[in-house]
Chain A
Amino acid sequence: MNSEIKIGGLTLKNPITVASGTAGYGEELSGYMDISKIGAIFTKGLSLEPRKGNAGNRIIETPAGVLNSIGLENVGLEKFLNEKLPFIKKSGAVAIPNIAGHSIEENIELCRILSETDGIDAVELNVSCPNVKQGGIAFGTDLDIFSDLLRKARKVTKCALIVKLSPNVTDVTSFAVAAEREGVDAISAINTFLGMKINTRTRRPHFNNKVAGLSGPAIKPMALRIVYQVCSRVKIPVIGLGGISNFEDILEFLMAGATAISIGTMNMIDPAVSEKMVAELERYMNEEKIESIYEIIGSAQDK
């Protein structure tokens, strides 16, 4: 039984990963599970300098979902390399840093430095955060800026380059096709959907930034649909995410064509859920006599 999957030159021991922004820097999860058991940890979106994130309310629950407006609070590159990455490496886990710079230049600089860092074999470029004013979603919703950023990032990135797509566009597949054309190794689909909450007591938006990102089981059918459409248009691996809450959801994303999946919001409800899902996958592959995980990847696509 082989659950290994490949992303560019990187091999992950299984397709189950945890999504950026819901897994801290691995250390927080390690109190509840063995972080070396899962395929990879996408760490919190990183900038060159530490970022404070958004003021005011940052999170609120919705039916089967969560709206967040964290604003990419992070420790900055230096502290990440000196304090956060060593812990993940020492634990025997795989870290995939999520890069979330303000500008094209900052993103490229982060791609260059991180991809040359020992122990980092893939980076994920976040062009889809809805919660920051500069950068973020602007890179992920304009096809020309998006392609330009990826072209420049590809040149300086020495390891596998993953790009995380925004669902907040008319046609996500056109961004996926552009990413493949620019030589990106894999696509993460998708980031949060734009949403909103109004406080009826104050008669004002709940979040200072007005809009926020919706995640959780509520978005799963939409995320699955996008992943299915993206996988039908590109040959590079797709990491599927969006509202995955149980093993059945994981199978759906794999069958839609995702080579790997990320668990996001559910880590917040059960910080050990990803390790449990690895055990579920093992049981399922044994029961179904599946030799290689690739036997089920994309099975729902028309041949």
Chain B
Amino acid sequence: MATLLEKPVTVAKDHYLLKIKADKSGSLPGQFINIKAGEGFDPLLRRPFSIFNAHEDVLDVVIRVIGKGTSLISRMEPGFIDIVGPTGKGFTMENDKNLLLVGGGVGNAPLLYLMRALKENGNRLTYIYCARSSDYIFLEDEYRKYADELIITTDDGSAGIKGFATDVMSHVISDGKFDRVYTCGPDPMMHRVVKLVHENVPVEVSVENYFGCGVGLCVGCTVDTVDGYRRACVDGPVFDGRKILWENMPR
């Protein structure tokens, strides 16, 4: 039985940090948990959230409030929390490499856990943190802790460089000096990152489409790929960005 250790803390506009003690240790960067919001049937389905950080059996999760379910979760009291997971396929690990991470909005969350693991493996890390405005940037110090270079971009210029990272940082993203690129954020952003990355450099994306069960049963969260449909929840959420047929992503 999992426990919410403290009340969710506001970390940015509409964003909350949850600290959850799971009933077992073990999770990988890129994996996620499914949280039940409230006790009744509305909302009915669990909500999937990627892991922001983990220490043994304590999982940190950053959620963005977008509707009734996430709003209920953001107002939970400490104590019992109904979770399934961690589950899903995580990111590919690297050792002693030059790596680029590009996060957009709440999509920055799984990349912190990834970045920490990559740093422990002796990689050199460049991180591009994209947000709508300065209000939406969460836990910046955590990102500074692991990134060798942290570049912030905001749509309105209220923090860092003004503009979409895929426009104003396109020269960095397309730089062939990186051995691998990781990205998580809105589909249009990830699609542009994938197109920008040098063709010899592998690029991994973590998709965040609408899930049904989150455990592989319902086949509702499929992503169209060059190998056919794949379930985001169990075959992903991390995919080779070049295998996704982006034009077929549900809107």
Contacts and interface: CB of A to CB of B under 8 A. Distances in A.
A29 B220 CA distance: 16
Contact of B44 (A32, A56, A66): A66
A70 to B, nearest CB: 5
A53 B219 CA distance: 9
Contacts of A61: 43-45
Interface in B82-121: 84
A269 interface: yes
A202 interface: yes
A265 interface: yes
B40 to A, nearest CB: 8
B44 A271 contact: no
Interface in B224-251: 224, 228-229, 234, 248, 250-251
Interface string A116-137: 0000000000000000000000
Given A32-B215, A268-B218, A271-B215, A59 B229 contact: no
Nearest to B249: A56
A21 interface: yes
A141 interface: no
A73 interface: yes
Most B CB within 10 A of own CB, among A61, A65, A270: A61
B46 interface: yes
Most A CB within 10 A of own CB, among B216, B219, B222, B234: B219
Given A61-B44, A216-B44, A268 B221 contact: no
Given A70-B220, A268-B213, A268-B218, A53 B229 contact: yes
Most A CB within 10 A of own CB, among B44, B224, B234: B44
B219 A217 contact: no
Interface residues of B, number: 29
B100 to A, nearest CB: 31
A204 to B, nearest CB: 10
Main secondary structure of the interface of B (DSSP, over half): loop
A267 interface: yes
* A interface bracket (residues with beta carbon within 8 Å of B): 35 or more
B234 A56 contact: no
Most B CB within 10 A of own CB, among A21, A60, A245, A269: A269
A106 B172 CA distance: 54
Contacts of A68: 212, 218, 220
Interface string B34-47: 00100011111110
B39 to A, nearest CB: 12
A202 B251 contact: yes
B228 A21 contact: no
A53 to B, nearest CB: 7
B43 A73 contact: no
Interface string A25-62: 00011011000000000001000000011011111110
Contact of B213 (A31, A73, A218, A271): A271
24 contacts: A23-B217, A24-B216, A28-B215, A28-B216, A32-B84, A44-B219, A52-B229, A58-B219, A59-B210, A59-B212, A60-B210, A64-B40, A64-B41, A65-B44, A66-B212, A68-B212, A68-B220, A70-B220, A73-B222, A216-B41, A268-B214, A268-B217, A269-B36, A271-B213
Task: Name the 10 nearest CB pairs between A and B, nearest first.
Answer: A59-B220, A268-B213, A64-B41, A28-B216, A59-B212, A57-B250, A58-B220, A217-B41, A63-B42, A24-B217
Interface of A: 21-24, 28-29, 31-32, 44, 52-53, 55-61, 63-66, 68, 70, 73, 202, 216-218, 245, 265, 267-271
Given A52-B229, A56-B250, A268-B45, 15 more contacts: A24-B219, A28-B217, A29-B217, A44-B219, A56-B251, A58-B220, A59-B221, A64-B42, A64-B44, A73-B219, A216-B41, A268-B212, A269-B46, A271-B84, A271-B215
